[in-house]
Amino acid sequence: MIIGGNKNMDQKNLFKEYEGDFNQEETSGQKEKKERVFGYSPFALQDALGEKSAKKAWIEYEKLRFVGIDEEELIYKVISKIRDMTSIIMGANKEDLNLKDYPYNKSKKDLKNWKEEELKNLYTKLVEIYHNSRIKGDDLDMALEKTLLSI
């Protein structure tokens, strides 16, 4: 077979330079299960909030931002932790919050570091920060960072 007008090149030699690329075995449609390896602890920010440690919370926030996690994703984690603790202190159980045992017990244990009024005020402030970033265009990253440093 003549390809592209070159009589010396036949079909057998056409892909010779790419031989190694096509010799890999193909899987039968099954994808290999990849193990997720984090360079950070995905729950460390929430743990720092539970401890009421501004320094730890800020450090964990910066670590997460450094690895490329968006501030929109982080504010949801922060709000959910504060919301869960606020709900628990007001009498909600794990079924009401639709939480598993460990996160519920962890949040319940973290309540020793917080007063009910502090949690309510922080929750209100976080929701306000989020809405101001969406409506007014405020910088969510800076506002969340300032809030974490003020706990």
CA distance 42 to 77: 10
Q: Give phi and psi for 104, each to the nearest 5.
A: -65, -50
In the prediction, which pLDDT does 11 show? 59
In the prediction, which pLDDT does 41 show? 80
Residue-wise pLDDT for 80-92, tens only, equals 999 999 999 999 9
The predicted model gives 100-127 an average pLDDT of: 96
The predicted model gives 80-109 an average pLDDT of: 95
Put simply, whether the predicted model's pTM sits higher than 0.85 gets the answer: no
Burial letters 107-134, b for 16+ CB under 10 A, else e = bbebeeebeeebbeebbeebeebbeebe
Percent of the chain with pLDDT over 90: 70
pLDDT at 22 over 60: no
- What confidence tier does 145 reach under pLDDT thresholds 50, 70, 90? very high
CB 49 within 8 A of CB 84: no
The domain defined by 45-149 carries CATH number 1.20.272.10: yes
Q: Which residue has the tokens 């922080």?
A: 122
Lowest mean pLDDT among 5-9, 51-55, 70-74, 142-146: 5-9
pLDDT at 120 over 70: yes
Give domain limits for the chain: 45-149
Helix 54-66 to helix 71-89 angle, to the nearest 10 degrees? 150
Helix 71-89 to helix 116-135 angle, to the nearest 10 degrees? 150
CA distance 125 to 150: 11
